[in-house]
Structure 1
Amino acid sequence: MALNKITTEKVRERADIEEVVNDYVPLKKKGQNLWACCPFHNEKTPSFSVSPAKQIYKCFGCGASGDSIQFVMDVEGIGFNEAIKQLAQKYGIEIEEEKAATPEEIQAYNEKESLYIAQAFARDLFVKNLQSDEGKSIGLSYFKERGFNQHIIEKFDLGYALDSWDHLIKSAKSAGHSEEILLKGGLILQKEGESSRKYDRFRGRVVFTIHNLAGKPIAFGARILTQDKKQPKYINSPETAVYHKSDVLYGIYQAKQAIRNEDNCYLVEGYTDVISMHLSGIENVVASSGTSLTENQIKLIKRFTDNVTVLYDGDAAGIKASLRGIDMLLEGGLNVKAVVFPEGEDPDSYSRKVGAKEFQQYLSQHARDFIAFKIDLFAKDASGDPIKRAEIVRQVVQSISKIPDPLIRTEYVKESARLLEVEEGIVMTELNKLLLKTQKDAYFKKKEQENVDSPTPVENLLPEGKKEGGAKQALALQEREMLRLLVNYGFEKVSDELHVCEYLFQETNELKFETPVNQKILKLYKKALKQGVLPEPGYFLKLEDSEIKKVVIDMIAPKHEMSVNWEERHQIYTQRETDDLPKTLYAGILRLKRRVLKKMLDETIQKMKSAGEEEIPELQQVYMELKQFQVQIDRQLGTVIST
């Protein structure tokens, strides 16, 4: 459903970029802007810039850019309308809708919204069931037995599914939910071979609600309490349009603020581990819910912190089997520690056994760096066995090689050499071997994939083809540079009566932009002027064209800021392009004209190659005239060699 433009404009006015981004990544002030490690790709050095003055963000690593609405779209993986609604809810803005969407869009939107509503209904029903006689005697008594108080039960939306084949389906249909949505949401099942036989997925189980980052219920995990060996201990919701298991961590909604505040995330395995740690006063904890870690889950953690502490049950064999998770965390750019509980214990059982205070002390005292943790894990088996000791070195180096930051890798080489009592050079040699092999494998895999996806035509390998592509790219960049000057300085004056935009249009009126997106921006600028609108950067950022917004943000977001201390404290003065704006504009126009001339020269050469003898003299004359213009421009620019 399309949103009323008034709603969209209210959101644009109220949604402060600093507040919105700070909900996901911690920002630190540097100069006039705020900086963080990018939430959209792995990095150790912050290249993600937020400009409160311009209300934009820009990552100089991966190129992501936009305003507060685009940020929510990208970080949550949702559409424009959903982002507007989410921000409207955050800022208490009333949502007004228009009926302007296509039937297909309306259907897709309505279906997704219906799934969210159906999941919320199921959550409410499961919670309500705890107050039934069956729910009290089975579900509530189980939670109380585990020490879960009413506050925790409400905080995590814990519930109970009655031991009935159709309690949910009947209740949902009475409330107006269709069987189709209940099926698509994974709340009911359909018996094979019987088109009309449908029944509840969750029956006779305690229910754990799974929330998305915004706190909406999107799925459920359910545990059986009887000793029925024919049924699995846990069953979970299937993948749906609103639930993708690999993108979700249990407890992330309840933990995100605590993770940011503590600058650390505890990673556990199950639902009850998360809840028990909350009871112990530790809220910065999430669970992978018994599944292997995924890249998207790691990126989700990295939005809030660079530090992870993995909690392991006291089972050496199980720990060794799950070490791949540590390597993935390291590869994701996270700093990793590990805590191992006594044999036979897990976070849930141990916290209940020793109490909150002692449990917190245990975590603090036993958190070990992953290197020391991994060495200790294999040390007993390798005692007195040189072959096994060599294998420990390889295991440790394998993990170090996953760390993207070379300086951190070097420090870990030193530390592991000290702990393993081997020469540092041996560890470094093994590491370099592994890194070289990894790089070679990645290179050949990339080349192989490129050949499969888009085999290179022979003609593209010819020098002239390469030159033509380079010329087009250079021209596009020079067009972009002129637009940058236009967007940033259009209404400044180059003389008492002439504005920058007027000067640029006069000097380039005969030129036609070749790049489509550049054409669009120039056309929009001129159109705005005719309508009496001042097309400053904010004018373009309000458009729904994401390509235009990205290009404009690239134009107005400087990668580096000059420290005020250079001038104020050290009296070191640097020249800025605004110090002599007419000179900057004139040089930009000359470079653009030169690129256009270069393109025309290349085209003339190509025509001469295929022209008949009678056409050659005329083309040569054209070429010489163009070349003379180019030489004149080169002289004015101070270029020594014409290419």
Structure 2
Amino acid sequence: MGLSNITTEKVKERVDIEEVVNDYVSLKKKGQNLWACCPFHNEKSPSFSVSPAKQIYKCFGCGAAGDALKFVMDIEGIGFNEAIKHLAQKYGIEIEEEKAATPEEVQAYNERESLYIVQGFAKDHFSKNLLDSEEGKSVGLSYFKERGFNLSTIEKFDLGYAMDSWDHLHHAANKAGHSDDILLKGGLILQKEGDPSRKYDRFRGRVVFTIHNLAGKPIAFGARILTNDKKQPKYINSPETAIYHKSDVLYGIYQAKQAIRSQDNCYLVEGYTDVISMHLSGIENVVASSGTSLTENQIKLIKRFTDNVTVLYDGDAAGIKASLRGIDMLLEGGLNVKAVVFPEGDDPDSYSRKVGSEAFQQYLHDHARDFIAFKIELYAEEAAHDPIKRADTVRQVVQSVAKIPDPITRSVYVKESARLLKMDEDIVLAELNKILLKGQKDAYFKEKQQAPPPPDAGAPFEDFLPEQKSKWSSADVLAKQEREMMRLLVTYGFEKVSDDLHVCEYLIQETGDVSFGTPIYQKLFVEYKRALKKGVLPDADYFIKLDDEEIKGEVINMISQRHEMSDNWEQKHMIYTNRESDDLSKTTFNEILRLKRRVLEKMVDETMEKIRSAEEQNKLEEVTEFQMVLISLNGSLKEINKQLGTVKSR
């Protein structure tokens, strides 16, 4: 169960964060770093930064941060050992087992691994049924061949067949050593109500479509009935499990991700067979929502690979109108959206088989419309002679335009909408502004109703506005200053402020009488001094390589910068900007003074509170004593402010 230190170290030495992250999102270079929209939260413009030089990532929107290993753990929702194994497989590193894990770790790991294993077993079982059994070949394989699916396509998508038997899979799985408990948790068998001893297969007498995760592992199944039995649903799907959440998955994403990235476009269809038929037509950048309503997480999954989506609709106007909410969600997710409508009665699967690959591809090219033209055409006929419906069409179009987060793109679509609707641009713009204003008001009142979050001790001072800082308590401000002190120590501790004095030595000497009130900074300070005792001058890389995730995450937050000074700025414009590293002795001295000032301010607040309490209890001697302490503290504050050139500290 446990991994050897050798395996872990080999993975850490070999792993490259750019290669790892690029498997999940499309990175674009800007300055020294690589940027993308964050895969961990929904955002409109890129705030997710990857530093190849430091081998770390940082999202300035949601705060997610870490190294390549942490990224895999979070994106895949797996533990440390699983992440090491995942990366070891990616880089072809042999996995060596070593120490035993705790019982809790073993149980959690085994259950998840067992689910992957049993789904893999079921995939192989269904495939064997399809290709080797008489029933599978005569029923399932015949169905796939009628649709033009060849053996290579069947293998590519792991298609299969579930025998028309109550317990064919159940019996085979038990025989192979898989327990009923894991088969139930994996959604492969069901238990009869009122009789726990009676268990039977979920999928029976159906062709089976395997659903893969982004890494290509089987995680669930969809199964289609081939008879006209009205009492049974056409499709049955796996339930949600520990490894399968349908709102996070798109059918075909594993087979499509490279093509989506290279084509910079994703075709979005409805069903399993639509995806496979398009692959047969030579179009691989296609995924399906598998009959479910499109979700935010599915949109985020697409956006990892491209900003462009083309939605393919069956030729059914009523059905299209019912699913238009999906286009608005795609727009809101920051994607550029086009749509293609097939002739009435056709879908991507039937039309591709009807006209052939070349004509199908040409149809997609010729009939792709941006969402504005698509919406207008959809409502054009019924709105042609009805002023009320025409006005409603205008509102429908403008409401979609309002979903676009980028103001420049929004402005372009206002002009295009006015042109296609044959209306004055000012009228379209006025309607748009009305919608946007209402959205802003709703957001404002929603924000007012929510309690403001406490200041983030992990964010730098410059990220906060003056009105935000004014609401902080002295304890909050002290935590921020403690962070600044530790950031300086981690970033420049190994530099020298003089010929024989390092920054870390100077800081530690001067702060010897100050203790850190924030646990993480005290912990980091202790770890720093421990390294010094071992004869190591630690830098940021030293802490990132520690196994302590709390320290690692904090240090990554400290050293990540959202904005970079352009390399050509000073040379091109002859404008020189002072940096804190230009004069480390002055920077260090000022930070020490600021920390001491924040400590004194906190002591002043505490002393004033004691004075108020003593006055309420009429303890005049204590009031006098605390007043003398307050005078002393204010005197020290005044002296520090004088050295810092500050009239008022807060």
Letter in 2 for 1:540: F
Residue by residue over 1:51-92, the C-alpha shift from the partner in whole angstroms, topping out at 9 and shown as x without a partner, is 111100112222221100111122222222222221111112
For 1:231 and 1:74, how far apart are their aligned partners in 2? Answer: 39
Report the Cα offset of residue 182 of structure 1.
0.9
Q: Do the aligned partners of 1:42 and 1:333 also contact (CA within 8 Å) in 2? A: no
For 1:585 and 1:498, how far apart are their aligned partners in 2? Answer: 12
1:609 aligns with 2:612: yes
| Equivalences for residues 219-258 of structure 1 within 5 A | 219-258=220-259
Q: Do the aligned partners of 2:493 and 2:537 also contact (CA within 8 Å) in 1? A: no
| Equivalences for residues 244-283 of structure 1 within 5 A | 244-283=245-284
For 1:485 and 1:284, how far apart are their aligned partners in 2? Answer: 47
Report the Cα offset of residue 637 of structure 1.
1.3
For 1:276 and 1:386, how far apart are their aligned partners in 2? Answer: 42
For 1:280 and 1:640, how far apart are their aligned partners in 2? Answer: 74
Question: 3-state DSSP class of the match of 1:308?
Answer: strand
Please say which of residues 570-579 and 265-274 is displaced more in the overlay: 570-579
Letter in 2 for 1:294: T
Q: Do the aligned partners of 2:115 and 2:182 also contact (CA within 8 Å) in 1? A: yes
Q: Do the aligned partners of 1:65 and 1:550 also contact (CA within 8 Å) in 2? A: yes
What corresponds to 1:558 in structure 2? 561
Report the Cα offset of residue 435 of structure 1.
2.3
Letter in 2 for 1:220: F
For 2:562 and 2:470, how far apart are their aligned partners in 1? Answer: 29
What corresponds to 2:322 in structure 1? 321
| Equivalences for residues 4-15 of structure 1 within 5 A | 4-15=4-15
Report the Cα offset of residue 549 of structure 1.
2.2
What corresponds to 2:645 in structure 1? 638
Question: 3-state DSSP class of the match of 2:224?
Answer: strand
Q: Do the aligned partners of 2:494 and 2:538 also contact (CA within 8 Å) in 1? A: no
Change (3 A) 1:559 1:289: same
2:627 to 617, 620, 633: 620
What corresponds to 2:511 in structure 1? 508
Change (3 A) 1:429 1:293: same
What corresponds to 1:546 in structure 2? 549
| Equivalences for residues 121-520 of structure 1 within 5 A | 121-130=121-130, 131-448=132-449, 450=451, 469-520=472-523
Q: Do the aligned partners of 1:2 and 1:101 also contact (CA within 8 Å) in 2? A: yes
Change (3 A) 1:468 1:278: closer
Structure 1 unmatched ranges of 5 or more? 455-465
Report the Cα offset of residue 99 of structure 1.
4.4
What corresponds to 2:57 in structure 1? 57
What count of residue pairs does the alignment treat as equivalent?
631
For 1:385 and 1:608, how far apart are their aligned partners in 2? Answer: 76
Question: 3-state DSSP class of the match of 2:620?
Answer: coil
Question: 3-state DSSP class of the match of 2:501?
Answer: coil
For 2:411 and 2:101, how far apart are their aligned partners in 1? Answer: 56
Residue by residue over 1:583-641, the C-alpha shift from the partner in whole angstroms, topping out at 9 and shown as x without a partner, is 11111111111111111111111111122211233322222222122122112211133
Report the Cα offset of residue 50 of structure 1.
1.0
For 2:597 and 2:381, how far apart are their aligned partners in 1? Answer: 72
Letter in 2 for 1:613: L
For 1:71 and 1:227, how far apart are their aligned partners in 2? Answer: 47
Q: Do the aligned partners of 1:400 and 1:412 also contact (CA within 8 Å) in 2? A: yes
Report the Cα offset of residue 446 of structure 1.
4.8
Question: 3-state DSSP class of the match of 1:222?
Answer: strand
For 1:98 and 1:108, how far apart are their aligned partners in 2? Answer: 18
For 2:155 and 2:311, how far apart are their aligned partners in 1? Answer: 27
What corresponds to 2:459 in structure 1? none
Question: 3-state DSSP class of the match of 2:29?
Answer: strand
Report the Cα offset of residue 198 of structure 1.
1.2
For 1:324 and 1:240, how far apart are their aligned partners in 2? Answer: 27
For 2:27 and 2:578, how far apart are their aligned partners in 1? Answer: 30
For 1:333 and 1:30, how far apart are their aligned partners in 2? Answer: 20
Question: 3-state DSSP class of the match of 2:193?
Answer: coil
Question: 3-state DSSP class of the match of 2:497?
Answer: coil
For 2:609 and 2:484, how far apart are their aligned partners in 1? Answer: 28
For 1:433 and 1:3, how far apart are their aligned partners in 2? Answer: 59
Report the Cα offset of residue 33 of structure 1.
1.5
Report the Cα offset of residue 445 of structure 1.
4.2
For 1:605 and 1:450, how far apart are their aligned partners in 2? Answer: 27
Q: Do the aligned partners of 1:213 and 1:253 also contact (CA within 8 Å) in 2? A: yes
Report the TM-score, using the length of structure 1 for normalisation.
0.95
Question: 3-state DSSP class of the match of 1:210?
Answer: strand
Report the Cα offset of residue 5 of structure 1.
3.2
1:589 to 579, 584, 592: 592
Report the Cα offset of residue 94 of structure 1.
2.3
Residue by residue over 1:481-509, the C-alpha shift from the partner in whole angstroms, topping out at 9 and shown as x without a partner, is 11111101111111111111100000111
Letter in 2 for 1:635: K
Change (3 A) 1:428 1:569: closer
What corresponds to 1:43 in structure 2? 43
For 1:507 and 1:355, how far apart are their aligned partners in 2? Answer: 78
Residue by residue over 1:536-569, the C-alpha shift from the partner in whole angstroms, topping out at 9 and shown as x without a partner, is 2122212344332222112111222211212344
For 1:367 and 1:41, how far apart are their aligned partners in 2? Answer: 30
Matched-pair identity in %: 77
Report the Cα offset of residue 469 of structure 1.
4.5
Please say which of residues 59-68 and 14-23 is displaced more in the overlay: 59-68
What corresponds to 2:463 in structure 1? none
Q: Do the aligned partners of 2:482 and 2:516 also contact (CA within 8 Å) in 1? A: yes
